[in-house]
Structure 1
C-alpha cells in the first residue's frame, strides 16, 4: 500500500497534481474538499454546517472531517493506496489519520508539501475563481484562507518531519515540472 498526503496552501496545485499521481500510481483519491462540496451541493446537514465555515474562510471542525474521512476509508477495497488531498489540515487530524491507518496495518508513506509563494497563490486562486465560479475564490476569502493555513495548518509539516515522511516540493513552474519532482519523491520511498 502506498499512502500519500499531498499538502500545501490553497491554490498550490494539490488537486491538479493529485490527478496526475492517481493516473501514474493507480491510487484511490480522497479529497475532503470534494466530499464537502458534494455535501454542500446536496444540502445535507453536514453540507450546511460546512458551508458556514467555508464561506468565512475557516476550517471545518476536526471531528466532522475525521468522521467523514473514516467513513470514506471504510468504502475502499483492494486499492493500491490512497492519496489524501486536503487532509490532514491540523496536527490532531494527522494523529487521527495515523491511528486510522494503523488499524489497517498501514501508515503514510510520503507527505508531499507543495511550496508556492503567497502572491502566486493569490493569482492562481483569483484565476480559478474566474474560471470555475467558486464562491470562495475572492480576494478577501483567499487572504483569510491563506492566513488560516499559515496559522493552523502549517504545524502539520512538523508532525510529518518527525514521522520521517516529509518531502518539500517546489510548487512553481510547469505542471509537468512539478509532477516530475513529486514522482521523484514518491519513487524514493516505494
Structure 2
C-alpha cells in the first residue's frame, strides 16, 4: 500500500526512475499525460473535452484534471497504491488530492523530488536534441521549460516539505545510483518494497 508522487525537472530522468519504482513496488505509474491521451484515444466524454482544450492550445483546467485523476485512482490497479507523475501541478490540485485520498482513508506516503543542476540538465537535453535531430530544441527553449517547471513546482514542493513528506534525491549520475538514492531516501521514511511488492511488479 505505497502511495508516492515524483517530481523533477525535464531531463532529470523522471520517466526512467518512475518505471523502476512502479516495478519495485508493484504499483501503477499514473501520469496525467497518459490519462489525457488514453481518454482522448477512447473518446470518453472527458477525453472529448480535453481534446478541444488541447487543440485550442489552452491549459486543461484543474476541475477537469482533477476529475480525470479521480476516475483513474478509482480503477482496481490503483486501490493498493500508485505513483503519481505530473499531478498535482497547482496548489488547488494539491488540496483536491489530499481531500480525495482522505475520503478513502488514505494519504501520500512520500514525495520524491529529483534535484538536478540546471546547467547539467540543459547540456544533457541539448546533446539529446542534437543526436535526435531536433534543431528547434534550442538551449533557450530548454532553459525556458526548466524555468517554468521551477516556477510551477516550487510552491508545491514547499507544501510537501512543510508536511515532512519530501524526499530530495540527486537526480544526476548513473541510473542505478539514482535508484539506490531513492530507495535509501524512502527507507529513511520507513518505506520499503516487500517481497510481495516485487513479486507483483
Q: Judge conservation of contact 1:28–1:79 (CA < 8 Å) in 2.
A: no
Q: Tell me the C-alpha RMSD between the 2 structures.
A: 2.8
1:25 shift after superposition = 0.9
1:45 shift after superposition = 3.6
TM-score (norm 1): 0.83
Q: Give the structure 1 partner of residue 104 of structure 2.
A: 104
Segments of structure 2 that go 5 or more residues without pairing to the other structure are 192-201
Q: Provide the C-alpha distance between the structure 1 equivalents of 2:127 and 2:38, rounded to a whole number of angstroms.
A: 22
Q: Provide the C-alpha distance between the structure 2 equivalents of 1:146 and 1:39, rounded to a whole number of angstroms.
A: 28
1:100 shift after superposition = 1.1
Q: Provide the C-alpha distance between the structure 2 equivalents of 1:105 and 1:90, rounded to a whole number of angstroms.
A: 23
TM-score (norm 2): 0.78
1:66 shift after superposition = 1.3
Pairing of 1:58-137 with structure 2 (within 5 A)? 60-77=60-77, 79-126=79-126
Q: Deviations over 1:103-151 (max 9, x none)?
A: 11110101110001112322344455567799xx823543332222122
Segments of structure 1 that go 5 or more residues without pairing to the other structure are 54-58
Q: How many residue pairs end up in the alignment?
A: 184
